[in-house]
Chains A and B, each alone.
Chain A
Amino acid sequence: MAKIECRNLSKTFSIDRNSFQAINDLSFNIEAGELVSVVGKTGCGKSTTLNIILGLERPTGGSLVIDGKEPYSEFNYFRGKLSAVFQTDRLVPWRTVLQNATYGLEILRLEETSRLARARHWLERVGLSGFDNAYPHELSGGMRQRVGIARAFSIDPDILLCDEAFGHLDEVTANKLRADFLSLIRETRKTSVFITHDIDEAVELGERVLVLGKPARLLLDVEVSRSVRDDHTKRGELKSRIIRAIESDEPAVQG
């Protein structure tokens, strides 16, 4: 289990002579085993934050460390430790469902028998048995995303990241998938970060919600206790607090 520490993180992109600040002085901590939602407007630098956690992007200021190590500069330390479910399924089109589910395991050089066993196990857990030899283009959007989830879980990572994974699905499919995903997450207790612009989803998935402004910085950091999640009124109050914070784009008074 790993914890994520983000200190005064900033990221500025320079394109030709223009520069664009995606993240401005963002700080937060995520403890091992926590389920945290990160919510903010579209284009507020959430996905950039995700890419920094994944080590695909280097911060321009501050630091983000997992287990005390920077994902970008100590790239290979994180072999087998990180997984992500992305906005689009990002399945490899020339691989079958089963071959997609073994993708990460192949990179980790697991031998074939255990590779297949693990991939099949996770495909079954996401409710996709019997489609092993289908190609991604033969599946519906929801089924494809299930393969993506199986692929992410298959390597048994320390940290699971989830970037708007249900955003492009219809509501019924998304609700079902979200519930299934959440029960897998709760069962495995992986440190999880859910990035979303959907406040309902953020409150549903996270036991804590980080609200980001634009450019990304911390506006609000709230616990979502079970009593709040299960109580309709309290939940509504929390959501309006989050909305107010995003609208004002100012750090809210904590409480």
Chain B
Amino acid sequence: MDFEPLPKRRALNIEMLISLGLLLLLWQAGSFFLPEYVLPGVQLIIAEFIKMAQEGSLFWDTLFTLFRILLGLIAGFVVGATLGILMGTLRKTENYLIPIVNFIMGIPALSWTLIVILWFRGTETRILVLMLAISFPVFAHSILDAIKGISRELMEMTLAFRPTRGQVLQMLILPSITSHVLTAWKVTIGFGVRVVIVAELVGASSGVGFRMLQQQSLLNMSGVLAWTMVLVISGLTMQFLITRMESRLLKWRPS
């Protein structure tokens, strides 16, 4: 790979370390004045992490939650991509389908949570449907936009060589829509991380949400915060991985 310094893209930089360090310092200072159930000291949260890691729940519950998110989002991607491709390629289907997609997109995630709880039994089904419901409209929209955005000029240039349908898909359509798809994944992962917890609070017996509820019923603020950080870090890590993939796949773009 070429070495090109791109200061904006760097994951770790000095400014970031300073601002995070400052936040940590403020936090620690605050914890001396506030009771432990409001603002526990950093050392307590770290102790909590160590305990979680030793019990194994840090690994397993995080894995469960991430797995649930990904499975649901993959389902949402399949449904959304199918709809997006239909709308983008078959005339008029957009006019029929877009109102429905938009309507579903307008339903708040919390309403969905209540709806899936009433509609379905097992936790896994509920979470799968929930993730599907909140993510597929995003995927459908972004893929529709991506298909509409394919350059007509490039399409004509390609067709002049008489490609097969498969070649058009592979050589022009897929590469054209890659960046839209990756952006959609970043957005939906953000949604997913926030919403999955609510669903896990109800009836789940594993996962980050379940652990968080446990800690809350024990009035253990350090536990609640430790699990919250697990979520934030997982979400950011996944988005970071996609950004990395983006800069690899889209390195042809002018910086």
State the CA gap A79–B158 with chains docked (Å): 11
Complex Cα gap A75–B160 (Å)? 9
Residue A104 at the B interface, CB < 8 A?
yes
Residues A86 and B157 in contact, CB atoms below 8 Å apart: yes
Chain B interface, number of residues (Cβ within 8 angstroms): 18
Are B153 and A76 interface neighbours, CB within 8 A? no
Closest Cβ of chain B to A134, distance in Å, is 10
A103, B252: Cβ atoms under 8 Å?
Answer: no
- A-contact bits for B155-174, CB 8 A (1 contact / 0 none): 01111111100010001100
Residues of the B chain whose Cβ atoms lie less than 8 Å from the Cβ of A166: none
Determine the distance from Cα of A108 to Cα of B254 in the docked complex, in whole angstroms: 30
Residues of A within 8 A of B161 (CB): 79-80, 83, 103-104, 107-108, 155
Q: Is the CB of A103 within 8 A of B171?
A: yes
- Chain A interface (Cβ within 8 Å of chain B)? 51, 54-56, 75-76, 78-80, 82-84, 86, 88, 90, 92-96, 103-104, 106-108, 135, 137-138, 155
The answer to whether B252 touches A94, judged by C-beta atoms less than 8 angstroms apart, is yes
Q: A80-B161, A96-B252, A137-B252 are in contact. List 7 more A-B contacts (CB 8 A).
A: A56-B159, A76-B162, A79-B161, A84-B157, A94-B250, A107-B171, A108-B161
B154 at the interface (CB under 8 A from A): yes
Contact A137-B153, Cβ < 8 Å, known A107-B162, A107-B163: no
A96 cross-chain contacts in B, Cβ below 8 A: 252
Q: Which residues of chain B are near A83, meaning CB under 8 Å?
A: 160-161
- With both chains docked as a complex, state the minimum distance between the C-beta of A61 and any C-beta of chain B, in angstroms: 22
- B92-133: which residues lie under 8 A (CB-CB) from chain A? none
